[in-house]
Amino acid sequence: MKIAFLGGGNMALALIGGLLARGYERRSISVIEVSPAARERLGAQHGVRASTAPDAATLEAGTLVLAVKPQDMKAALASLAGAARGKLVISIAAGVRLEALSRWLDGHRKLVRCMPNMPALIGAGITALHALEEVGAEERKTAETILGAVGQTVWVDDERLLDPVTAVSGSGPAYVFWFIEQLAASGEKLGLSKDISLKLALHTVLGAAKLAAASDKSPSELRQQVTSKGGTTEAALKVFDQEKLAERLARALEAASRRGAELGDELAKD
């Protein structure tokens, strides 16, 4: 299986690195990248072929991965409509809908749209995928293999669900980083040094996530195990309830999902 990437940014680098780590051959991967610095980085880090425009390697590839910025996608695809014919095309561009991609590729329908997230950069991501009906079972497996090189994968059966996916997992790392910031800042206010408070906050979130992932218990059950009646954890959680933090978080994710739909509308305009 030969793969051509359109765009050689951070996510493409992560995917290529993940594929190589799983035994994929360098000679089977090519990249179209206009930036000289990015092409140099691709060569230095992964030793894969990088060109400024579609070439013979692009035409030979059975799979094309679209990894350019969403706002640049339409222009970037202008020279690829012919080269995409017969290929599986996988887009990792946030917000760009499949119908828009199909239109920009002269009606091409073997399309998969994905929403990866930032932890993919260290191989710990989660990616949601949605495919058009014209994508067969083997092609879906190909998409899973490529995105699975940087973490876990899930499929959603309605493209509209990629907006809440974006709100939960695409934007989710930012919420976690914010929580770590607040946890550390509160520790400082209570008298801990900056370094110690940050280390405690960071490893508490890291350890709790690892425990939740490894446990057969739900997050709710694990929370209850930590919460002793009349204890310190209960005191904190009562304040969360009083301040309606769960409702506020739900409103925040609704806003993120709504904005994702709006961006999809904007990007789909010709």
Instruction: Return residue ranges of the chain for CATH 3.40.50.720.
Output: 3-162
Question: What pLDDT sits at residue 81?
Answer: 73
Give residue 58's identity as a one-letter amino acid code. T
Residues 6-41 pLDDT 10s? 999 999 999 999 999 999 999 999 999 999 999 999
pLDDT at position 73 is 94
* Residue 212: both structure tokens together: 């939740």
CATH number given to 3-162: 3.40.50.720
Q: Which of 13-17, 51-55, 255-259 is the least confident region? A: 51-55
What confidence category does residue 42 fall into, taking pLDDT thresholds of 50, 70 and 90?
very high
User: What is the CATH class of 170-262?
Assistant: mainly alpha
Residues of the chain with CATH 1.10.3730.10: 170-262
**Cβ 202 vs Cβ 180: under 8 Å:** yes
Q: Using a pLDDT cut of 70, give the percent of the chain over it.
A: 100
- As to burial, measured by CB atoms within 10 angstroms (0-12 exposed, 13-18 middle, 19+ buried), residue 169 is buried
Sheet bearing 49-51, strands edge to edge: 49-51, 29-32, 3-6, 63-66, 88-91, 111-115, 125-131, 151-155
Angle between helices 194-214 and 219-226 (to 10 degrees): 130
| SS3 state of residue 136 | coil
- How far from 102 is each of 17, 28, 90, 160, CA to CA, in Å? 28, 25, 11, 16
Question: Which pLDDT does position 1 carry in this prediction?
Answer: 84
Claim: this prediction has a pTM higher than 0.85: yes
